[in-house]
Amino acid sequence: MLNNPHPVSDYLAAGKRAHLVGIGGVSMCPLAEVLQGMGLQVQGSDMAEGATVEHLRSLGISVAIGHNAENLGDCDLVIRTAAVHDGNPEIAGAIARGIPVYERAQAWGAIMRRYPNALCVSGTHGKTTTTSMCTHIFMAAEADPTVMIGGTLPLLHSGYRVGKGDTIILESCEYCNSFLSFFPTVAVILNVEADHLDFFKDLRDIQHSFRRFAELVPAEGAVIANADNQGAMDALADLGRPVFTFGLDRPADCTATNLRQEDGRPVFDVVIRGTVYAHVRLHVYGRHNISNALAAAAAAWTLGLPGKAVEEGLAAFSGAGRRFEHKGTFHGAEIYDDYAHHPDELHALLTTARGLGYKRLIVAFQPHTYSRTAKLFDRFVEELKLPDVAILAEIFAAREQNTQGISSADLCRNIPGAVYCSTLDKAAEQLRAIARPGDLILTVGAGDIYRAGEKLLEKDV
């Protein structure tokens, strides 16, 4: 919060005019809709035209293209995305005029206080998939939830929905301690690992943040955590309240029994405290997705949903956008795309992919941020030795400058047979040159590496 001692909740009232900077963003667009539904007059700005901007205008929300202090008009408050900094002309203009400026997470936190059930899914990785699974379950239960996901869910044809039920489901990110602005009644902690080390000091600092997140849950709420993840267990040690656990390898309140594979996909019973709660057939691969499904089932059980909703919801879930998403076939090779950008995510993805029976596993990986690549360098090297062929695109800068002087070429020098590609066009051409029937080609990373696979498919004649 800038230049204002009052909480954002004081301004979230019918008739107030809210200006959203970056209104077309993945969590700003649903925020605009929710605020409008609360009776606020909503306006905003974004850097470019797009489908979300068009959608907002269709709802009567004014959207300016480009950032200019004049766009503020006579607004009562400004809400910004994490990517918008103090030097932005609209933020600077608001400060100069004494208009209060709030972070997106603060607004979502105030909104969720209006819902009896606020289900917040957190963790270093797995958040989008698990939040999506929860959404499927609550939709199957006809609970009409409000949802905010950090990716596209085919069920919703977007990353969000605005419902009229008593539950809000939010993917909750630890970066910059954003989730500490939330008010969860149910907090799910999937895992706690070293990441975002451009903001956090170390793993201990990250664990402290997740512990503070858990402490936000009221006494009548629930903290749900992964018993198999040591980082999560360390973060919640001696919390002073019960923790509802899920897991496969260690004793847990919620676990899977009678686990088997059908067509390579997991089938199992969800057992909660000794009683079968649901019989699940997943349409996504991998042991990590069994864990994600247990987390979603635990949240559903905690909030009183029937096991049938878990069965139906998970049976209909085929993955979120950019989570092992099938893109097409090129010269007999199957092309998939995945958002994995942390060594743990890479390990889960690549070990799963190796077990699918393809002749070769070819991975085009684009590291995400210089700081993550530098601080987790050795772990990235080890995981990128798993595929038969590793193609390394240049690091996706995201929010950073390359002050470390690091390159994907440095990773390549430590991975036998790896190929460095300085551009996405070169990565696509490399894939084109080596693809053959029986290959599984994975484009992997949180940046724009998916375009390499799409370029390949565009040329498939």
Per CATH, is 8-104 categorized as 3.40.50.720?
yes
Residue 455 DSSP SS3: helix
pLDDT at 459: 59
Q: Provide the greatest CA pair distance for the chain.
A: 63
Q: Tell me: the pLDDT tens digits for 372-385? A: 999 999 999 999 99
Q: Which two tokens stand for residue 49?
A: 């035209």
d(C-alpha 186, C-alpha 222), whole Å = 5
Q: Where in the chain is the domain with CATH 3.90.190.20?
A: 325-458
Neighbours of 456 (CB within 10 A): 25
Q: Which two tokens stand for residue 374?
A: 């530098």
Q: What Cα–Cα distance (Å) separates residue 148 from each residue in 51, 105, 151, 215?
A: 17, 12, 9, 22
Q: Are 20 and 77 in contact (CB under 8 A)?
A: no
d(C-alpha 99, C-alpha 96), whole Å = 8
Neighbours of 54 (CB within 10 A): 11
Q: Where in the chain is the domain with CATH 3.40.50.720?
A: 8-104
Q: What Cα–Cα distance (Å) separates residue 92 from each residue in 85, 88, 366?
A: 9, 6, 35
pLDDT at 161: 87
Question: Active-site residues: which are they?
Answer: 127-128, 171
What distance, in Å, lies between the first and last C-alpha atoms of the chain?
54
Q: Where in the chain is the domain with CATH 3.40.1190.10?
A: 115-315
| Cross-strand partners of 170 | 120, 148
pLDDT at 3: 61
Q: What Cα–Cα distance (Å) separates residue 295 from each residue in 160, 282, 289, 351?
A: 20, 14, 10, 21
d(C-alpha 397, C-alpha 338), whole Å = 18
CATH class of the region 115-315: alpha beta
Q: Which CATH architecture is the domain 325-458 placed in?
A: Alpha-Beta Complex (3.90)
Q: Burial code of 279-317, b = ≥16 C-beta within 10 A, e = fewer?
A: ebebebbbbbbbbbbbbbbbbbbbbebebebbbbbbeeb
Q: Which two tokens stand for residue 168?
A: 């809000």
Q: Which two tokens stand for residue 312?
A: 């139906």
Using 50 as the pLDDT threshold, list the residues of the chain that sit under it.
Answer: 1, 461
